[in-house]
Amino acid sequence: METEQTLVLIKPDGVQRGLIGEVIARYEHKGLKIVGMKLLQLPRETAEKLYAVHQGKSFYTVLIEFMTSAPIVALAIEGRDAIELVRILNGETDPRKSQPGSIRGDFSINITHNVVHASDSPRSAERELDIVFAPDERYKYHRIDEDILHPSAV
């Protein structure tokens, strides 16, 4: 198990529906640490960089329009296996397949308006975090439950 950081974006639908607190609580309660956080409206150029891998796909234009249409919340999240854990907490991209109990399973019904985005690999996480956060916008601190979450004997 490696300590990793990953990028989460609470999308415009999540912000506008008042789900910011609910979504962040899911990650915090799991035992993951929020090490960076900001509310911002993505410039088009930034959204295009973040979603470069999807350029040319049928949903690309709609996705960019949506992601730049209103404020989002960007989170840098740290923890052991954080990239995979966050993706499990988020649920499948397509809300028709995401399980109840996951963020998308509980709160979304549309594949574009699917509440959250998260990095899908260590390489994407590094790339995406660098696009959204300056180096001094991610912080180091100790959560007081870390020894309980990660007992040294296990």
Distance (Å, whole) CA 86 – CA 66:
22
Distance (Å, whole) CA 15 – CA 3:
28
Using the CB atoms, write b or e for 125-135: b if 16+ within 10 Å: bebbbebbbee
- Of 121 and 150, which CB lies nearer to ligand CMP in the complex structure? 121
* Ramachandran region, residue 81 (left: φ > 0; alpha: ψ -120 to 50; beta: rest): left
Contact with ligand CMP (CB under 6 A) among 46, 68, 69, 93: 93
Contact with ligand CMP (CB under 6 A) among 111, 127, 131, 143: 111
Stretch that binds ligand CMP, among 34-42, 96-104, 107-115, 132-140 (CB under 6 A): 107-115
* Minimum CB–partner distance for residue 114 and ligand CMP (Å): 5
Q: What is the arrangement of strands in the sheet containing 33-40, beginning at the earlier edge strand?
A: 33-40, 72-80, 3-10, 116-118
For residue 87, state whether it binds ligand CMP (rule: CB under 6 A). Answer: no
**Exposed / middle / buried, residue 82 (Cβ in 10 Å: 0-12, 13-18, 19+):** buried
Stretch that binds ligand CMP, among 12-20, 96-104, 109-117, 126-134 (CB under 6 A): 109-117
Distance (Å, whole) CA 128 – CA 7:
6
Binding mask 61-80 for ligand CMP (x = CB under 6 A): --x-----------------
Catalytic residues: 117
Contact with ligand CMP (CB under 6 A) among 16, 45, 55, 59: 59
Instruction: Return residues touching ligand CMP (CB under 6 A).
Output: 54, 59, 63, 93, 111-112, 114, 117
